[in-house]
Structures are given as C-alpha cells and as structure tokens.
A = this chain, B = another copy of it.
Amino acid sequence: MPPADPVREPARQRDLRERNLATVLARVAASSTDDGTAPSRAAIAAATGMARGTVSALVDALLLGGLVEELPPPPRTGAGRPANGLRLSGRRVAALGVELGASHVVACVRDLTGAVRARASVDSVDRTGPPERVLGASAELAVGVLADARAQGLDVVGGAWALPGLVDSAAGRLRLAPNLGWRDVDVLALLSAHPGLEGLPLAVDNEAALAAVAELWHPGDSPGGESFVLVTGEVGIGAGVVLDGRPLRGERGWSGELGHVTVDPAGPPCGCGARGCLEAYAGQEALLRRAGLAAERAGADALRRAALAGEALPLAALEQAGRALGVALAGAVNLLDVDAVVLGGACAPLAPWLAGPVRAELAERVLRARLLGVPVRVSATGSDAAVMGAAALVLQRVLDAPAALVA
C-alpha cells in the first residue's frame, strides 16, 4: 500500500523550458562564483549535454530578460571563434530584504549578483510596541530603499522579512515570538497593505533560516550541495539548517529551534518553561549573567572585551556556554548528518572562546566523529546575515524559476 503523494504535479511543455532556463542560469551563476570564468553558450551546452542550439535560444531569452549579460571583451584563448562570456546581470532584477533585529531594523536591496545596491537602518526601535507600529516602521524603511533601488533602474521583484520566532512562512504569519511579545500576527497582510508595498510579492521567514541562506550565498564557502547547521545567537538562539544546499523548512517552517533543545534535563529554568534548554546556558541573558555582566546593558561586546582582558568569570561562562552549545549541536549532527557546524550571529565574535569547547563536545558525542570529523567554521557573514539572506531568498526564487521574468 504505497503512500499517497499528492504533491506531484503533472509536467507540461512550458515546465521543460522553465527548468532548462533555470539550468542555464544556474550554470552561469555557478561558474562566476566558482572560478570567476564566464561560461560561453558552447561551454554550457557541453557541461549540461544540451544541444548548442537550445542553449543559444535559452540564453537569448535570459539576455532579453536582463538576467544575464554578455561580457563585452571576449577573452581570447586558442584557435577558433572566441567565445562570448556570460555572467549574471546586476542591471535589472533585484530583491528586498528586511530584518527586525534586536534593537534595530535593517532593509537592503540586492541585485541578482548579490551586490547590495541600497541599504538603510534605524536604530533604537521599540520592539515592544504593537506589531502594527513595529512592522509599519520596517515598511517605511523598505519603501525608502525601494525608491533608491528603482532610481537605479532596478526592478525589485519581491521582498522578504526576517523575523525572530516561529514563523509560518506558508501562511505569512508570525505564530509566536517570545522576544517580541507577539503571538499569531498576520505579518504578510499588515505589510502588503502598507502604502508603497502594494503589489510587491512579499514573504516572511525565520531569521535564523534566512541567515543560513546568506551563509550559503556568501563567497568563499565550499561550493555546491553543502549541508550545515548555522547557529545564530542574538537574544535567543536559533539555527538554520541547510541540507544539500537547500534550507530545511520543516512541516510548518518551525524547524531549527536549537535554543530549546535540552542540554541537561535538570538544568536551570528557561524562559520557555522547561529546564536546561540551551538558551539557559548560551542565550545572551544567561551568558551575561553567568559572566557577572548582568548589570551592564552593553551586551555581547562587553563580554568579548572582558574575555579579551582575560577575566575569569566571563571565560568560565563562555567555556560552559560552548560546552552546552556543543552538546546541542552534537544532537543535531547525529540526527541530521550535516557536513559542518557554523557559528554565526552573536556567536561569531565569541567564536575564539566558544569553538574549542564546541569542537570537544562534538568529537566526543557525535557517533560518526570516529569516521569523519565535524568541522566548526565561523560565519564570514557579518551582523547583516538575516537581511542579506532575506533578499537572497527572493533572488534564489528567481534563479530557481526565471521563466516568470523572461516572458
């Protein structure tokens, strides 16, 4: 009795073209990331096995759509007619990303090459205000960068908001956000109704998941089909899981709640009501308190300075937080068999003190560690990871389904 599989949609002729457009576009994107060489039509045909004529037709469509451009100076090599190099074009397609950070809001527009073409941020936003107000402020910011981008001739094809908490991205709702004090907010409806955003396709997603997308897009990473868990410690602790180069969504988009994985069932109480959650050890509040820095408002920076100064209490707190993180991550690796662990968000600046204990726990607790170690990397994406990832999410959709923009 085979299981029902209602997801399967029939394929039509235009789906063929859709997919092959994406194939060609992916080759252009991959080559420019990999080695800086701009592939020619013939090279793409050879690499994919498609007929040269087909590739030419598809490339023409992509050129016309402004997704791809030809390199004006053809790099000459050996004999024969020189090839026309192709690369992603940053001239037309762009995407908006917005992040509701701990105490600030950031918005940016990235073009198809990933370059940031417009950016704005507001500090000291009152996150505890009603959702309408906070989201409205972010929408204002978005309208501003949109205008900036459009003045550059960019066609912003969509936008994504990075939010902390349990985000139901299919429904466009923020179901639960302890750090914002929100519960079941229809973010998509509020934003879509905002003046200046009407008609723009919008999406919402969890900030950690989007930070993982940013990590995937960041240059310098080992390319292709990679899998990792990215830890993003801001106020809470989240994780973005990437399997086979694709972010793991979960049934409702609520995956990656690493902060509430149990480290010690009899451990200290956590804000969620349980005991011994990772956040109770490595969350910002717990970490600062254990380091004896609770009174100060400075946060992670102060902790970093104290650690650099060699103060005993902060170092002990970081050691313990690293061990707790390692225990939780070991569970994740045992369950998911990802290639690597990446320390991002607030963990990145603290990595000099966290990485050691994390590595030690992973080596001891991951079953496969005997066969294959678990590399611990530090994210090269800065504090803008979530915004960058939000825009990248939209761009990734363009890369996956370019036909809509090629008409």
Contact = CB atoms under 8 A, between A and B. Distances in A.
B367 A250 contact: no
Contacts of A263: 262, 265
Interface stretch (A101-109, A187-195, A238-246): A238-246
A10 interface: yes
A331 B2 contact: no
Interface residues of A, number: 98
A54 to B, nearest CB: 8
A1 to B, nearest CB: 4
Contact of A29 (B2, B16, B49): B2
B20 A11 contact: yes
Contacts of A32: 1
Contact of A365 (B20, B50, B255, B274): B274
A2 B330 contact: no
B262 A166 contact: no
A251 B337 contact: yes
A170 to B, nearest CB: 12
A364 B273 contact: yes
Contact of A6 (B113, B225, B251, B259): B225
A249 B337 CA distance: 8
A218 interface: yes
A339 interface: yes
B5 A338 contact: no
Contact of A331 (B8, B253, B261, B395): B261
B10 A13 contact: no
A210 B38 CA distance: 44
Contacts of A48: 9-10
Given A176-B370, A339-B251, A334 B260 contact: yes
Contacts of A243: 248, 250-251
7 contacts: A1-B113, A2-B217, A6-B225, A11-B20, A251-B337, A273-B364, A331-B332
Which 8 A-B pairs rank lowest in CB-CB distance, beginning with the nearest? Answer: A250-B337, A4-B223, A4-B30, A257-B334, A4-B224, A255-B337, A254-B337, A261-B331
